[in-house]
Amino acid sequence: MATDYYAVLGVRRDAGQDEIKKAFRRLARELHPDVNPDPKTQERFKEINAAYEVLSDPQKKQVYDLGGDPLSGASAGGAGGFGAGFGNFSDIMDAFFGTASQRGPRSRTRRGQDAMIRLDIELDEAAFGTTKDIQVDTAIVCTTCTGEGAAPGTSAQTCDMCRGRGEVSQVTRSFLGQVMTSRPCPQCQGFGTVVPTPCPECAGDGRVRSRRTLTVKIPAGVDNGTRIQLAGEGEVGPGGGPAGDLYVEIHELPHPVFQRRGDDLHCTVTIPMTAAALGTKCPLETLDGLEEVDIRPGTQSGQSIPLHQRGVTHLRGGGRGDLIVHVEVQTPTKLDPQQEELLRKIAELRGEERPAGHFQPGQQGLFSRLKDAFNGR
């Protein structure tokens, strides 16, 4: 009976290459002859090695899945317990020490960091949008060395310690025998090159700080905390690398009249008691100009009057919010005798108070309520 290589590695038949490789690494750490010299364990190690050789090779795996034997005529175990499954030395190093480190020198050119500034705007600018000029202090490419980091007339040179590889190697002993490990070159910090004469303007960094003026378009409907992204306007990277992005965070300044709630605006108008009773037209300076608010007769304190489409423009989609006008009725704090007599007559005509000062059962007269308010009761 043919060996079930999927069962040997403990994976499903539809397992991907990543899952197969992880299963192999786990078993290799447990069953390697240098870790567990038991003869039965060595046979088991040869089995997982053969299984990995087949399942990690797309062509061999296809032959096996079709019922063939891709290892016929070949030794599954190989000499010394290392078969074709360990043909790539990085596989065995990965199995014991994790993912192999990246080879080769590091690039001196890297992407710059993103930057962010806060921009204060007025309510009408947030409602309708605007254009602002802002000044930013960011790193830009050094014009003296054009980002190379070397002084004019000079250039970077190959590191003589690592010979341009960016890393140095050393041999150590372990249970596997002699193992060669690599680390970044201490002389060039892994770049593979050194700059013997750095640029005097940027000290070899390839960039300098500078103040620039940018024009930012503020869309209508922005609110506190809204961030506008300016691609490529952030910090230039080391070595003259590509710039990051600049984010402009909006901060809306308080308005003396209106309070914003979402895209709606709210304000309060105070009118005399007589205007609330008789009705009036109240002028109000809105974001769109001067308008008259229609106060209907009998308006009570605390009522609200909506002015549709007079709020903030919706940031996404058309239309605008509303302007909600809250009415506050002002009660007079001091009455002269004539005014008091007039109010008394109004109360009598409305049947709210009798001339002798006796009140209707269960009802307090208007005049008495006013006097209570004046006396702070």
Q: Is 282 annotated as a binding residue?
A: no
Q: Which long-range contacts (CB under 8 A, 24 or more apart) does 7-11 make?
A: 8/47, 8/48, 8/50, 8/51, 9/48, 9/51, 9/52, 9/55, 11/55
Q: Is 267 annotated as a binding residue?
A: no
Q: Is 142 annotated as a binding residue?
A: yes
Which residue, chain included where needed, has tokens 């940027």? 202
Q: Is 162 annotated as a binding residue?
A: yes
Annotated binding site for Zn(2+): 142, 145, 159, 162, 185, 188, 199, 202
Point out the annotated binding site.
Answer: 142, 145, 159, 162, 185, 188, 199, 202
